[in-house]
A and B are shown apart, each in its own frame.
Chain A
């Protein structure tokens, strides 16, 4: 079973950093990643430039879309972080309140996918009522994999509700 590609609309992304730039993550206890390990109190932050940004392991989001959560389950250590996607926070979102940005960190390399010629499907039928509640704005099947485009704010609020 292939895993899903998960996309974030580019207008939600401030910038993406990868490689050495994210190696200096603050020591944290993210040796085991599960929903309980998300620290919504913002005590764990990723260091970037001279600021600290609260983060969420993006792999957790991917894991939620995977058929076999146990197989795909990845332990993230700070030294394994390869990519951080910096999301501009919305003041009105109530998510990470008071923070200008938050980061989705992942041990995987991110790809900037060329969706120029890709057919995105508007939600229809049951997915029309279901997907927006899950934070899925559009979806497509890219390289045979289900590829939801998620609104990070809606999705993470949903995720927080399940913690």
Chain B
């Protein structure tokens, strides 16, 4: 297989807190800015509340507490594709960035924790690829225990 036939993937590279992360662009439905978040009672702190997306409540998750980092107060959100109706709070969007399969380093589950899929080099810096399903799963689990 030569380089020209190698599959490319496009990522949304963003900052959450102080670190860079990436999501597969096909997992991203929309990016929202300055949307008010309405808090909910009795939920874990990483579930920030809900925001209004075209008249429907979408749950807002700050991924950083789940990753062992400090919470964010930014007003920038990634709306995830899928039926979960979920947004991730982030700090700043950097750019959409394409890689080939060979650029990717996949983690084994033991070394990554469930929230990371792998990583790639982005302008000489390692960017961690987030697993959106893991956030959906933990939120659904905690929602069930609310």
Contacts and interface: CB of A to CB of B under 8 A. Distances in A.
B and A form one assembly: yes
Interface string B131-146: 0000010011001101
A2 to B, nearest CB: 7
B42 A158 contact: yes
A126 B38 contact: no
- Pick from A124, A125, A145 the residue with the most CB of B within 10 Å: A125
Contact of A124 (B39, B40, B41, B56): B56
A48 B95 CA distance: 63
A144 B56 CA distance: 12
- Pick from A124, A126, A134, A159 the residue with the most CB of B within 10 Å: A126
Nearest to A161: B42
B31 interface: no
A144 B58 CA distance: 14
A162 B42 contact: yes
B50 interface: yes
Given A125-B85, A129-B140, A141 B55 contact: yes
Interface stretch (A17-25, A38-46, A60-68, A101-109): A60-68
Interface residues of A, number: 26
Nearest to B36: A1
Contacts, number: 77
A111 interface: no
Interface residues of B, number: 27
A64 to B, nearest CB: 4
Interface string B24-51: 0000000000001111111100010110
B83 interface: yes
A134 B59 contact: no
B43 A2 contact: no
A141 B59 contact: no
17 contacts: A4-B38, A65-B38, A65-B40, A67-B49, A124-B83, A124-B85, A126-B84, A126-B85, A129-B140, A130-B43, A130-B146, A133-B42, A134-B42, A134-B146, A140-B55, A141-B55, A159-B41
Given A127-B50, A141-B52, 9 more contacts: A4-B38, A65-B40, A124-B56, A125-B86, A126-B84, A127-B59, A130-B43, A139-B57, A144-B36
Interface of B: 36-43, 47, 49-50, 52, 55-59, 83-86, 136, 139-140, 143-144, 146
